[in-house]
Amino acid sequence: MRKNIVAGNWKMNKTAKEAEELITALKPLVAKSKPEVVVCVPYTDLWTVAEAIKGSKIHLGAENVAWADKGAFTGEISAEMLKEIGVEYVIIGHSERRQYFGETNETVNKRTKQALANGLKPIVCVGETLEEREKGRTNRVLKKQILEGFEGITDFTNIVVAYEPVWAIGTGKTATAEDANKTIGYIRRTIKTNFGEEVAKALRIQYGGSMKPGNAKELMAERNIDGGLIGGAALKAEDFAAIVNYKD
């Protein structure tokens, strides 16, 4: 049995002060939640949020991690720096990083290995663009992202995959539950073929892309979907909590 995991990706939103307010509002709302709850927040919010979530079941995540241990990498943040704050999860290869900041399957692979080597849990994002989808290339793109992104990795215990169709991110367009389930099923089969049946069975795969209180239940009811990676709706305590508590 895979435990559902609902993670908020705050992206470039919330100052430290706003972050504290959001966590204070969120804490009581998710106190009895069944899924694992994670908030992935901007680097500048990490210390504040680490403090604010104390005594709750909320887990702390960052939105990226450097592939090197330390040194001349201006603007990057190392795994060791994150661990000192108490970070547990790191998002890797989000489509916005791929689109705007030159992230590739190769850098995703390096960051993922570095996270694992340092005991951080990567949430690795994959997904096709609208153009790729319309040209019928979805599976091919996903397969390449998976094979190259996870190249050389054998232990998937700490890995979470997020399937985020790029055309569904921040657009209000959601993949239908059936469609998302089918594509995540393809991801699971690809993992099975290349990394083994046990890995594929145990691996948690989230859906991400305009998940909201109104559609979370339907999406998460699907067999292959083990939670969500939430952008916009994670910025409001009530909305995020309603997604986390979709079963209630």
Identify residue 217 by its one-letter amino acid code: K
Show the site string, 88-107: x = touches ligand 13P by CB under 6 A, - = not.
------x-------------
Q: Which of 142, 211, 237, 244 binds ligand 13P (CB under 6 A)?
A: 211
Instruction: Verify whether residue 94 is a known catalytic residue.
Output: yes
**Catalytic residue (one of 59, 94, 103, 132):** 94
What is the distance between the alpha carbons of residues 49 and 58, in angstroms, rounded to a whole number?
A: 10
Q: Which of residues 189-208 bind ligand 13P (CB under 6 A)?
A: 208
Nearest to 53 by CA among 41, 44, 65, 64: 41
Q: Which of 125, 206, 134, 215 is nearest to 176 (CA)?
A: 215
- Contacts to ligand 13P from residues 215-244, by CB under 6 A: 229-233
Q: Does 61 bind ligand 13P (CB under 6 A)?
A: no
| Contact (Cβ atoms closer than 8 angstroms) between residue 63 and residue 103 | no
Measure the CA–CA gap between 177 and 224, rounded to whole angstroms: 10
Least Å from the CB of residue 59 to ligand 13P: 16
CA–CA distance, 97 with 164 (Å, rounded to integer): 13
Nearest distance from C-beta of residue 123 to ligand 13P, angstroms: 9
- Look-up of token digits 């919010």: 45
- Here's the x/- map for ligand 13P, 152-191, by CB under 6 A: it reads as ------------x----xx---------------------
**Number of Cβ within a 10 Å radius of residue 101:** 10
Q: Biggest alpha carbon distance in the chain?
A: 49
> How many chain residues are in contact with ligand 13P, going by CB under 6 A?
14
Q: Specify the residue, 87 or 199, whose C-beta has the smaller distance to ligand 13P.
A: 87
Q: Is 164 a catalytic residue?
A: yes
**Residues in the site for ligand 13P, rule: CB under 6 A?**
9, 94, 164, 169-170, 208-211, 229-233
Catalytic residue positions? 94, 164
